[in-house]
Amino acid sequence: MRPGLLFALMMPALALAQPVSYPETRKDQSLVEDYHGTKVADPYRWLEDDRSEETQAWVKAQNSVTFGFLNAIPLRDQIRDRLKKAWNYERTGVPFEHGGRWFFTRNSGLQNQSVLYEADAPDADPRVLLDPNTLSEDGTTSLTEVAPSEDGRLLVYGVSKAGSDWQEFRVRDITKGKDTGDVVEWVKFSDAAWAKDGSGFYYSRYPKPEEGAALTGANKNHTVYFHQLGTPQSADRLVYARPDQPDWGIHAGVSDDGTYLLFTVTHGTDPKKRFFYRDLRQPDAPVVELLNAFDADYSFIENVGTTFYFHTNLDAPRYRVVAVDVNRPGRENWREVIPEGAHKLERVHCVGNQLLCERLQDARSAMTAHDMEGRLIRNIELPGIGTVGGFRGRRKDPVTHYSFTSFTTPGAIYRYDVATGASKLWKQPRVDFDGAPYETRQVFIQSKDGTRVPMFLVHRKGLPLDGNNPTLLYGYGGFDVSLTPGFSISRAVWLEMGGVFALANLRGGGEYGAEWHLAGTKLRKQNVFDDFIACAEWLQAEGYTSPAKLAIMGGSNGGLLVGACMTQRPELFGAALPAVGVMDMLRFHKFTIGWAWKSDYGSSEDAAEFKALRAYSPLHNLSEGTRYPATLVTTADHDDRVVPAHSFKFAARLQACQAKQGPPVLIRIETSAGHGAGTALTKVIEQTADEWAFLSQVLGMQSPAPRK
C-alpha cells in the first residue's frame, strides 16, 4: 500500500466522527403561503434578500464554518497545487475571419481570462487586441460578446463584471488599438449585429432595473435597438419592441449579404421559436412575421436571395433542413433540403456553399457535408469518438476551423478545406496529463419505466469491480441541452486521484431530439431523476462503486437534479455537490430570468404543476432527522440567473434536517462571481480544489498521481 494511503482511507470515519457545528439560522414560522389549498411554510424566505445585513452576516458565518472544515483537509493543498500545475498550459480558441483579419482567443496558462488576438492569417504572428485581465485588478471582468465589423476595422465587445449576466457593450477601433468611446449598457442575452456598412450595430436590452434590483429583479420587455457609432446610447434608435409580449426574447441578426434584418423570437427557454425579418433595402420596411405559429424550433442557417434555409424540428423530432422562399411563404411551398435521419441533427453551418451538418449518434459527434440542395457530398472524418465545435464561417469562405475533444484528450483545432474535405491539425495543446492509462466506454441503462439511458464511463484501465472505487456521477437533464464527451482539467485530476467519472445522458436533455427533451419536462420531470437514480444503481450493481463511495454532481438545472435525487434516495449516495442549483421550485419564477424556465418546469401558479413541483422540490422534500449524504452546496453572490437564495434556503434547511452524527452538510459562497461563465481562473481552481478535497475527505481518496 502506498505511504499515506491508509490514512486517506481512514478519513471518512474521522470526518464523520467530528460533527460540524453549524451557524444558527433564524426561522420565521409565521410565513406560510397557500398554494391551491395546500399550506406551505417558508421560514427562510428572509434569505432571499441578499442585500440585508442579516443575510450578509449569515453568509459570513456559513463561509467561516465551511472554510474551517476545508482548511483542515490534509490533501487540499496537494489537490490545489496539482490543479494549478495541470491548468498551466496554452489554450487557443477556434479562429474566424472578418475583413481579412483573423481573430481568436488564447490563454497562456494561468491567466484569469483568455486574451483576444488578431492576425493577418491563421499562422501569422498574432497581436493582442483586447486583454480582459487588464479590466479589473482581481480578474473578475470577463469578455463576453466578440463581433468584428464586416471590414474587420471595428469590434463590438461585451464585458461582464463579477460573473453577472448583465453585459456592457463597447467598441474598439482595431486599426488604432483603442476604444471609440461608444458604450451600451443593460444588455443581457444579446449578440451584436453590425450593419453591413459598419455605421453601427443592432443589439437587445432590458429596461434599466430599479435601484438595488439588478441582481434579483425580473427581466421583462427585451427590446432591439440600433446604436449609431459616435452617438450616446440615449440616442439609440428603437428598432423593434413588443410591449404586448413582455416575456418574448427578441434577438437581432443581419444576413451575410446585408439584405435582411433577422429577428429570432423566443419565449423563455422553450426550444420553440418565432422568426421575423425586415428588408433593409427598403427604408421603413415593415417587420414580416414569417414564422409566427410558435410550433417548432427554427434556426436560421443562410439565405440565397429570397430563399431562407432553416434547421427545424417541425414534423421532425430529430431535426431536418427546410428552404422557405419568402415570396411564397406558404407551407405548401416549403422545400425539404435534408430530411430527418436516424440521429439528431444537432446544428448546421453554411460554409463554402455547403451545408456542414453535425449529428449526435448516442451523444457523440458525427459530421456530414451536403450541397445547397441537400445532396450528400461526404462524411467528414473526425479524429475519434468525441465532440466537435466551430465550423464557423460564411457561404463564400473556402476554409473553416473546428475543435475536437474527448474525455481524455484536450481540444485540438483543425483547419478544414471545404472543397476537398481535408482536415489539417492547426493547434495541439500540450497538457501535463497522460490519458493513455484511462479508457472511455459507453453503456446503456434501463430506467424505471424501461427507457434506455446512455452513460459514459471514464476510468483507469484494469479497474477492479469490487465496489470500492470513488465515483463521480454527473448529469444535467433539462432545457434541451446535450451532454457530450469533453476534456476537463478538473476531471483529469479526479481520474488521477483514483476516481471513476460517469456522465449520464438523461431525459430532458437534447441528445435524441424533441421527444427526449419533452419526456423530462413539467409533469414528466420525475423521469429525469429516475434516469439518474437508475444510473447510480447500475454503477453499484456492476461493482464500480458503492453508496459510501458514490458522489453526485451537477450545476444549475443539474444542481436541481442533485438536490432532488439526494432528497429522494439519500441512502444511495455518499456525497453530493449541487452547484448554483434551482432548489425552490415554488418560487423560482419570481427572480431575474427564472420565469423563463416555466417551459421546462411548469409553475406553482398552476394547480397540477404545483403538485408535481412540490413532489420533487429539493427545499420542500427535506425531512428532519434523515441522514443525508455529505454535501457541499456551492453558489456565488453575483449569480443573477439562479439567484443564491435557492442555495441559501436549501443549505439552511438541510443543516436543520441532517441527522445527529450525520456527515457534514456545508455551503460555500463565492464572492465576485456569478453563474459560472467568465469566472476568474483563480476562483475556478480554488473552488475545484475545495470540491475535490471535500470528496477526498468524505469518500476516502488518495492524492493526485505523482508526476515525473
Cα–Cα distance measured from residue 460 to residue 407, given in angstroms and rounded to the nearest whole number: 12
pTM above 0.95, yes or no: no
Please report which helix (H) or strand (E) contains residue 323, including its range. strand 320-325
Which region among 125-139, 416-430, 661-675 has the lowest average model confidence (pLDDT)? 661-675
In this structure, is residue 12 part of a structural domain? Answer: yes
Q: How many CB atoms lie within 10 A of CB 384?
A: 12
Residue 673 pLDDT:
57
Q: Is 589 helix (H, G, I), strand (E, B) or coil?
A: helix
Q: Is 649 helix (H, G, I), strand (E, B) or coil?
A: helix
Q: Are 54 and 147 contained in the same domain?
A: no
Residue 699, phi then psi, degrees to nearest 5: -105, -15
As a whole number, mean pLDDT of residues 103-119 equals 95
> Across all residues in the chain, what is the average pLDDT?
93
Phi-psi region of 180 (alpha: psi -120 to 50; beta: other; left: phi over 0): alpha
Q: Are 97 and 80 contained in the same domain?
A: no
- Whether 434 shows a pLDDT value over 60: the answer reads yes
Q: Are 15 and 120 contained in the same domain?
A: no
As a whole number, mean pLDDT of residues 9-28 equals 67
343-348: Cβ within 8 A, 24+ apart: 343/318, 344/318, 344/319, 344/482, 344/510, 344/511, 344/512, 344/513, 345/311, 345/318, 345/319, 345/320, 345/321, 346/319, 346/482, 346/510, 347/299, 347/311, 348/299, 348/301, 348/309, 348/311, 348/321
Count up the domains in the chain and report the number: 2
* pLDDT (tens digit per residue) in 590-626: 988 888 899 999 999 999 999 999 999 999 999 999 9
Q: Are 107 and 244 contained in the same domain?
A: yes
Please report which helix (H) or strand (E) contains residue 76, including its range. helix 76-87
Residue 176 pLDDT:
93
Q: Are 70 and 112 contained in the same domain?
A: no
As a whole number, mean pLDDT of residues 150-165 equals 91
In this structure, is residue 137 part of a structural domain? Answer: yes
599 or 215, higher pLDDT: 599
In this structure, is residue 295 part of a structural domain? Answer: no
Cα–Cα distance measured from residue 290 to residue 495, given in angstroms and rounded to the nearest whole number: 51
DSSP code, position 333:
G
Counting Cα atoms < 13 Å in the Cβ hemisphere of 469 gives 28
Q: Model confidence at 676, in pLDDT bands (50, 70, 90)? A: low
Cα–Cα distance measured from residue 32 to residue 45, given in angstroms and rounded to the nearest whole number: 10
- Whether 3 shows a pLDDT value over 50: the answer reads no
DSSP code, position 435:
-
* pLDDT (tens digit per residue) in 256-308: 999 999 999 999 889 999 999 999 999 889 999 999 999 999 999 999 999 99
List, by residue number, the catalytic residues.
Answer: 556, 675
* pLDDT (tens digit per residue) in 536-579: 999 999 999 999 999 999 999 999 999 999 999 999 999 999 99
Q: Are 97 and 69 contained in the same domain?
A: no
Q: Among 234, 238, 206, which residue's Cα sits nearest to residue 221? A: 206
Three cell numbers written together for 23: 451557524
Q: Model confidence at 8, in pLDDT bands (50, 70, 90)? A: very low
In this structure, is residue 424 part of a structural domain? Answer: no
Three cell numbers written together for 18: 467530528
* pLDDT (tens digit per residue) in 313-351: 999 999 999 999 999 999 999 999 999 999 999 999 999
Residue 595 pLDDT:
84
Q: Are 56 and 175 contained in the same domain?
A: no
Q: Are 56 and 100 contained in the same domain?
A: no
Residue 1 pLDDT:
26
Residue 18 pLDDT:
58
Q: Are 517 and 579 contained in the same domain?
A: yes
In this structure, is residue 528 part of a structural domain? Answer: yes
In this structure, is residue 358 part of a structural domain? Answer: no
In this structure, is residue 359 part of a structural domain? Answer: no
Residue 389 pLDDT:
95
Q: Model confidence at 89, in pLDDT bands (50, 70, 90)? A: very high
Q: Which domain holds residue 454?
A: 5-85+433-603+630-699
Cα–Cα distance measured from residue 114 to residue 180, given in angstroms and rounded to the nearest whole number: 22
Q: Are 518 and 656 contained in the same domain?
A: yes
Q: Model confidence at 216, in pLDDT bands (50, 70, 90)? A: confident
Q: Are 121 and 81 contained in the same domain?
A: no
- Whether 486 shows a pLDDT value over 90: the answer reads yes
Cα–Cα distance measured from residue 584 to residue 562, given in angstroms and rounded to the nearest whole number: 13
As a whole number, mean pLDDT of residues 179-192 equals 95
284 or 692, higher pLDDT: 692
Q: Name every residue whose Cβ is closer than 8 Å to that of residue 254 and which is 6 or more positions away in sequence.
A: 193, 194, 195, 196, 202, 260, 261, 262, 280
Of 228, 254, 280, the residue that ends a domain is 254
In this structure, is residue 278 part of a structural domain? Answer: no
Which residue carries 463565492 as its cell?
A: 670
Q: Are 442 and 558 contained in the same domain?
A: yes
* pLDDT (tens digit per residue) in 347-406: 999 999 999 999 999 999 999 999 999 999 999 999 888 999 999 999 999 999 999 999
Which residue carries 450595430 as its cell?
A: 201
Do 243 and 270 meet the contact criterion of CB atoms below 8 Å apart? Answer: no
As a whole number, mean pLDDT of residues 4-28 equals 60
Cα–Cα distance measured from residue 90 to residue 109, given in angstroms and rounded to the nearest whole number: 5
What is the CATH classification number for the domain harbouring 157?
A: 2.130.10.120
Three cell numbers written together for 706: 505523482
Cα–Cα distance measured from residue 157 to residue 144, given in angstroms and rounded to the nearest whole number: 7
Residue 677 pLDDT:
59
Do 171 and 159 meet the contact criterion of CB atoms below 8 Å apart? Answer: no
Three cell numbers written together for 279: 428588408
Cα–Cα distance measured from residue 288 to residue 292, given in angstroms and rounded to the nearest whole number: 10
What is the CATH classification number for the domain harbouring 587?
A: 3.40.50.1820
